[in-house]
Structure 1
Amino acid sequence: MNETIRGLLTRFGGLPVPVADIADDADLYAAGLSSFASVQLMLGLEEEFDMEFPDNLLNRKSFASIGAIEKTVDMILGSRKVA
């Protein structure tokens, strides 16, 4: 999942640094992720993982780092299996 998220971040993030150089816990907004890019990334994640972000997870915290994105997507996919 981490590799897929990094690929989507490379595609949609528009970051001025290579995604490969960003640690999983690094602040993506400090690295240059804009609000517009985070929306594009969210749409890419939804398509890639065939899921939808619930309103309560559409916030800056969910996209703060690669690790946070991975945790959020994992939580959404996990809750979908239970439901």
Structure 2
Amino acid sequence: MNDVEERILGLLGQIDILLAGPRQQLPQQRLWENGMTSLSSVRLLLLVEEEFDVELPDEALTRTTFESVGSLAAVVRQAAGGSGS
């Protein structure tokens, strides 16, 4: 698991979405099956933008982006210019 994924996992705890299982598998777990709602996805978006000092583009604001920690981390890295933020 990389730094971006670790930081996103920490943010999930702030909105009461807790993932369980082997640590290396957490980035692939489906957030929507683990308690993510449309409201919590907006809360997570705001936390992510603040944490990483990025603004996710409108076209990235989809259910697919918020499908897993891994998918969200990929979009965050892209928005940050590919850095490992």
TM-score by length of 1: 0.82
Q: Which one has a larger percent helix, Structure 1 or Structure 2? A: 1
Q: Which runs of 4+ in 1 moved over 4 A?
A: none
Counterpart of 1:76 in structure 2 is: 79
Q: Check the 8 A contact 1:29/1:64 in 2, yes or no.
A: yes
The RMSD of aligned alpha carbons is 1.7
Q: State yes or no: 1:63 paired with 2:71.
A: no
Q: How many residues align?
A: 77
Q: Equivalent pairs: percent with the same residue?
A: 36
Q: Check the 8 A contact 1:6/1:20 in 2, yes or no.
A: no
TM-score by length of 2: 0.81
Note the C-alpha offset of 1:19: 2.9
Structure 1: tracts of 5 or more residues without a match: none
Structure 2: tracts of 5 or more residues without a match: none
Counterpart of 1:19 in structure 2 is: 19
